[in-house]
Amino acid sequence: MIRAFKNPLLSLLGVLAVGAIFQFAFDEYIQLMVLFITVNCLMAMSLNLVNGYTGQFSLGHAGFMAIGAYFTAYASTHWNFLPAELQGVSFFIFAIGSGLAAALAGFLVGLPSLRLKGDYLAIVTLGFGEIIRVSLLNMDVLGGPRGFANIPGFSNFYMSYSFAVLWILICFFTIWRVMKSSWGRGFLSVREDEIAAESTGVNTTGMKVRAFVLSSFFAGVAGALFAHFTNFINPSSFTFLQSVNAVIMVVLGGMGSMTGSIIAAIFVTSLPEALRPLQEWTGVDLRMVIYSLSLILVMILRPKGIMGELEITDLWRKYVRRSARS
């Protein structure tokens, strides 16, 4: 049964069926939450490629998301080359465009800065993220600090959801296949021991740049989805905190586990809503306090994150099938 989900088409149908349940059984508030979860899933999975698999720490992911969001916002309000019935197709093309724009930015950012390591890389990517945000603030074509309003979106929840699911599966299976290829081995070798990888002939900077570009592509797509779902974006949606949010998801889910990232994205996005009664009772915003505390505790108690490098399917193999055999 688990193996069936390794087939993209079957998993698409499965996840779409889940969406159908949400379409009819829940109200708009929860539906919007589900859409935000899909955006965060994309963010977490793409960051996991850099942070979990390649072992490089990037804190500028919100910047790439911003580039994607602004590209889509501009494109879908200014360019109408397809009839209105084919809106979904044009959105898909614009999402690819956003991804490519973000990937280009990722290349430009990555090429010089990925020669740095650890702390420095984190701080430089943070710097690039902030520079992107400040530049957006100063661009009057894109609305500047007022933001970009009236971005066309999908007509109903199910359309938005299917669009998001399509992209999540593209992201998931792309990264899945890449990690099984020689590039994937290169990424892992960079994470494990950079000097050893270099001396066995892996082009470590090249590997890092590849991971970074692929990751920023999907972050750009996540930004595009975000723009369509909220219909309004402004530079303050893409601050340092948004990047940290993605990092929290990757770390909590497990650095190097894609299903872990998805689970953490679902958990981290829905936790504040679950905490709302507590928040009203105490009158303070406890969300970030709990996140940060759990981040520290996870790092001390389980340094690789909750799932470690295991996927859900590995857990299935490890526990369920073993117990069936015995």
Partner 1 sequence: MQDFVQHLINGISLGSIYALIALGYTMVYGILKMINFAHSDVYMVGAFGAFYIARAFGIEANPGVGSLAILLISSMLVCSILGLLIERLAYRPLRNAPKLNILITAIGVSLFLEYGGQALFGANPRVFPEVMKDFVIFSFGNVELKSFDVTVLIVSVLAMLGLQYLIYKTKLGKAMRAVSANASVASLLGVNPDKIIAFTFIVGSALAGVGSVLVGMKYPKIDPLMGMMIGMKAFVAAVLGGIGNVRGAVLGALIMGLSEEMVVAYLSSTYRDALAFGILIAILIFKPAGLLGKYSVEKV
Judged by CB under 8 A, the residue of 112, 139, 236, 317 near partner 1 is: 112
At closest approach, how far in Å is the CB of 289 from partner 1? 5
Taking the C-alpha atoms of residue 153 and residue 90, their distance in angstroms, rounded to an integer, is 12
Site for partner 1 (CB under 8 A): which residue of 37, 40, 55, 197? 55
CA distance 97 to 89: 12
Query: Which window, 8-16, 89-97, 165-173, 240-248, contacts partner 1 (CB under 8 A)?
Result: 240-248
**Is the CB of residue 239 less than 8 Å from the CB of residue 170?**
no
Q: Do 222 and 46 meet the contact criterion of CB atoms below 8 Å apart?
A: yes
Question: Residue 241 CB, nearest distance to partner 1 (Å)?
Answer: 9
Quick check: 135 binds partner 1 (CB under 8 A)?
yes
Rounded CA-CA distance 56/154 in Å is 36
Q: Could you tell me which stretch among 215-223, 228-236, 279-287, 306-314 binds partner 1 (CB under 8 A)?
A: 279-287
Nearer to partner 1, 86 or 296 (CB): 296
Measured between alpha carbons, how far apart are the two ends of the chain, in Å?
20
Q: Residue 308 gets which letter from DSSP?
A: T
The answer to the question of residue 16 lying near partner 1 (CB under 8 A) is: no
113 sits near partner 1 (criterion: CB under 8 A): yes
Kindly write down the DSSP assignment for every residue of 110-169, as one continuous string. Answer: HHHHTTS-HHHHHHHHHHHHHHHHHHHHT-TTTTGGG-B------SSHHHHHHHHHHHHH
Structure-block tokens of residue 161: 């959801």
| R_g (Cα) of the chain, nearest Å | 20
Q: Report the distance separating Cα 10 and Cα 121, nearest Å.
A: 39
**Among 12-20, 26-34, 112-120, 161-169, the segment contacting partner 1 (CB under 8 A):** 112-120
Q: Contact with partner 1 (CB under 8 A): which of 10, 86, 108, 134? A: 134
**Judged by CB under 8 A, which of 21, 84, 284, 324 binds partner 1?**
284
Q: Give me the residues that bind partner 1 (CB under 8 A), please.
A: 51, 55, 57, 112-113, 116, 118-120, 122-124, 126-128, 130-131, 134-135, 137-138, 195-196, 199, 240, 244, 247, 251, 255, 284-289, 291-293, 295-296, 299-300, 303
